[in-house]
Chain A
Amino acid sequence: EAGVAQSPRYKIIEKRQSVAFWCNPISGHATLYWYQQILGQGPKLLIQFQNNGVVDDSQLPKDRFSAERLKGVDSTLKIQPAKLEDSAVYLCASSFYGTEETQYFGPGTRLLVL
Chain B
Amino acid sequence: GESVGLHLPTLSVQEGDNSIINCAYSNSASDYFIWYKQESGKGPQFIIDIRSNMDKRQGQRVTVLLNKTVKHLSLQIAATQPGDSAVYFCAENYAGSARQLTFGSGTQLTVLP
Contacts and interface: CB of A to CB of B under 8 A. Distances in A.
Interface stretch (B13-21, B66-74, B77-85, B94-102): B94-102
Among B32, B34, B99, B106, which residue has the most Cβ atoms of chain A within 10 A? B99
Interface in A70-108: 91, 93, 100-108
B104 A42 contact: yes
Given A42-B104, A43-B103, A4 B43 contact: yes
Contacts of B44: 43, 91, 105
B26 to A, nearest CB: 14
Nearest to B32: A101
A55 interface: yes
Contact of B46 (A45, A91, A100, A102): A102
B61 interface: no
A56 interface: yes
What is the predominant secondary structure among interface residues of chain A facing chain B?
loop
Nearest to B9: A40
Given A56-B98, A91-B43, A101 B104 contact: no
Interface in A34-81: 40-45, 48, 55-56
A55 B103 contact: no
A42 B103 CA distance: 5
Contact of B106 (A41, A103, A106): A41
21 contacts: A4-B43, A41-B106, A42-B4, A42-B91, A42-B106, A43-B44, A43-B89, A48-B98, A56-B100, A91-B43, A93-B43, A100-B98, A101-B34, A101-B99, A101-B101, A102-B46, A103-B101, A105-B36, A105-B43, A105-B45, A108-B43
